[in-house]
Amino acid sequence: MAATDAPATPEELKTRIEAGIPGATAAVTGDGHHFNAVVSAPAFQGLSRIAQHRLVYDVFGAEVGDRIHALSIQTKAKAAETENSA
Amino acid sequence: MSDDQTTQIREAIQSAITENPVILFMKGTPDQPMCGFSARTVAILQSVGKPFAAVNILPDPRIRQELSGLSDWPTIPQLFIDGEFVGGCDIVTEMYESGELQHALGVEDDAGNGQAAPEAQAQEPAPLTIENRL
């Protein structure tokens, strides 16, 4: 895992959320300690808000509250991108 | 040694959640929140006008540790209604804006319902600290 003391960045969080949740799109803002993430993913469909937020928190495990001091989350379910958007 | 105390803390948290229909675990107290997210959640509950119990998690790091173990939720604040984990600041805010929170608290946002006017129901929240429950 990312055992680093380097300050977290919005770009890092975005990359990790999108890698950790299949099909997710994330927009992350933050100052290195407090972050806000707006995440949409097909995986959220049919889940309660709590379950959706847990999926995002789970990407970071114990780093939330520690290296990532605070992480605000808004989630949206989105349809899987199987459209003809070649 | 401290295992006993940890168990006591966990049991105190569990019974606090069971015994209080609305309970907020927060940083600081409703009068003196120590974190913006806790402050916002308190402000929402107060504006809904429903009395709630509050537990300050700051005095002992084990409170947060045990609470997060119980709720499987990493951040503070955490709101429980009727023994069920409802969410943290983000979810409470969304639920407040959509009216779900008022519904869950049995306080519909309805001007015709004079009985639930926040002013009339100026009941003090009951601040409850884990310490005096042990």
Mutation target among A50, A59, A71, A72 for the B interface, most CBs of B within 10 A = A50
Q: Which residue has the higher pLDDT, B125 or B104?
A: B104
Q: Is the pTM of this model over 0.80?
A: yes
**Residue B97, in any domain of the structure:** no
Is the bond preceding residue B21 a cis peptide, omega within 30 degrees? no
Would you say A34 and A70 are in contact if contact means Cβ atoms under 8 Å apart? yes
Is pLDDT at B116 greater than 60 in this prediction?
Answer: no
B70 touching A (Cβ < 8 Å): no
Query: Cβ atoms within 10 A of the Cβ of B125, count?
Result: 18
Is pLDDT at A83 greater than 60 in this prediction?
Answer: no
Specify the CATH number for the domain of residue B78.
3.40.30.10
**Residue B66, in any domain of the structure:** yes
Confidence of residue A6 (pLDDT cuts 50, 70, 90): confident
Sorted by sequence, the CB contacts under 8 Å of residue B56 that are 6+ apart come out as: B26, B27, B28, B29, B127, B129, B130
Question: Can you tell me the mean pLDDT for B10-33?
Answer: 96
Question: Can you tell me the mean pLDDT for B113-129?
Answer: 45
pLDDT at position A79 is: 80
Would you say A56 and A73 are in contact if contact means Cβ atoms under 8 Å apart? yes
Q: How many domains does chain B have?
A: 1
**Residue B68, in any domain of the structure:** yes
* Domain interval for residue B79: 7-88
Distance CA B11, CA B17 (A): 10
Considering chain B, what is the average pLDDT of its residues? 85
Is pLDDT at B131 greater than 70 in this prediction?
Answer: no
**Residue B24, in any domain of the structure:** yes
Sorted by sequence, the CB contacts under 8 Å of residue B6 that are 6+ apart come out as: B62, B66
